[in-house]
Amino acid sequence: MVAGLHPEPPVAGVSLIAHAVVLVGPPGAGKGTQSHAIAAEFRIPVISTGLMLREAVQRNTSLGMAARDSMESGALVPDELVCRLVEERIGEPDCARGFIMDGFPRNLNQAIFLEGLLGSTKGGVGMLALNIRVSQKTLLMRLAGRRVCPECGTNYNIFFSPPRKEGVCDNEGRALVQRPDDNEEVIRRRLTEYEKQTRPLIDHYSSLGLLREVDGNGSSETVTAAIFALLRAS
Ligand code: AMP
């Protein structure tokens, strides 16, 4: 086979309105869940900086060692580390048709970096920022109630979507765990960081005409349907 002569397989029915979709809601807004729903529908990858950083910490790589302390305290990891990670990931072939960003950019500096990357590497193709809005009370219950299967990564919530058997994954039968940064003190710090650093992105994207608002308080299916309607190219 000669590389480049074979077109990509056609994508069933749906195409995306923008090349890069950025999710800018606060921690607990459902960005993880929604990004996976978007990925499945539009067949594009999710780039989750939180997930990539957690993997680096687990594997004890030099990035993981540099990021660990910030993550454990709920602070942001230094921009240069995260920006390098994102630049490398976006350059991979599976991102050529588009991608969803969960957890990046987290501040204005990162947003400007991303705009530079998209402008230079993708010929200036479009992006869209989705702000998933959720009440403070729901955010806290989602974060404090979140439990994860260490085997398959399925998310549960002890208040909203508990597993069939308490504390155990429905799929794997493994004991569910709580993310170390989902304890009350760290949650407070993450929400403060969001207010200080990430919320200003809403004005930034709004002034560029790239912001779309989504009500994230309903069931995950309702939120997903609203997002699909916004993202589908007509
Ligand atoms: P998340 O899974 O998106 O809530 O991210 C978990 C943690 O990873 C955050 O609290 C930060 O410490 C770190 N992190 C994730 N994404 C970024 C980013 N774009 N910039 C800086 N730190 C990040």
Low-confidence ranges of the chain (pLDDT < 50): 1-13, 123-124, 234
Q: Give the distance (Å) from ligand 1 centre to CA of residue 200.
A: 16
| Ligand 1 contact via 25 beta carbon (within 6 Å) | no
pLDDT at 133: 94
Q: Give the distance (Å) from ligand 1 centre to CA of residue 27.
A: 9
* Rounded (10°) CA dihedral 101, 204, 68, 27: -70
| Ligand 1 contact via 82 beta carbon (within 6 Å) | yes
| Alpha-carbon span 67 to 46, nearest angstrom | 21
| Ligand 1 contact via 71 beta carbon (within 6 Å) | yes
Number of other residues whose CB lies within 10 A of the CB of residue 151: 13
Name the pTM for this structure.
0.84
Handedness of CA 11, 12, 13, 17 (dihedral sign): negative
| Alpha-carbon span 152 to 221, nearest angstrom | 21
| Alpha-carbon span 225 to 34, nearest angstrom | 10
The 8-class DSSP code of residue 158 comes to: T
| Ligand 1 contact via 74 beta carbon (within 6 Å) | yes
DSSP symbols for 90-102 = HTSGGGTT-EEEE
Angle 54-57-60 from CA coordinates, rounded to 5°: 150
> What are 100's strand-pairing partners?
21, 46
| Alpha-carbon span 89 to 56, nearest angstrom | 14
Residue 77 contacts residue 95 (beta carbons within 8 Å) = no
Residue 143 contacts residue 27 (beta carbons within 8 Å) = yes
Q: Which of 68, 21, 66 is nearest to 42 (CA)?
A: 21
Angle 144-145-149 from CA coordinates, rounded to 5°: 115
| Ligand 1 contact via 26 beta carbon (within 6 Å) | no
Q: Tokens in use for 107?
A: 């501040």
Phi-psi region of 12 (alpha: psi -120 to 50; beta: other; left: phi over 0): beta
| Alpha-carbon span 102 to 48, nearest angstrom | 5
pLDDT at 11: 46
Q: Tokens in use for 116?
A: 């530079």
**pLDDT tens-place string over residues 145-160:** 999 999 988 889 999 8
Q: For a ligand 1 pocket test, name from 89, 106, 132, 188 the mutation site with the most ligand atoms within 8 angstroms of its C-beta.
A: 106
Residue type, 87: E
**pLDDT tens-place string over residues 118-130:** 885 554 458 999 9
Number of other residues whose CB lies within 10 A of the CB of residue 158: 16
Q: Give the distance (Å) from ligand 1 centre to CA of residue 105.
A: 9
Residue whose structure tokens are 């540099």: 66
pLDDT at 1: 35
Which residue has a Cα nearest atom 5 of ligand 1? 50
Specify burial of residue 91 (Cβ count, 10 A radius: 0-12, 13-18, 19+). exposed
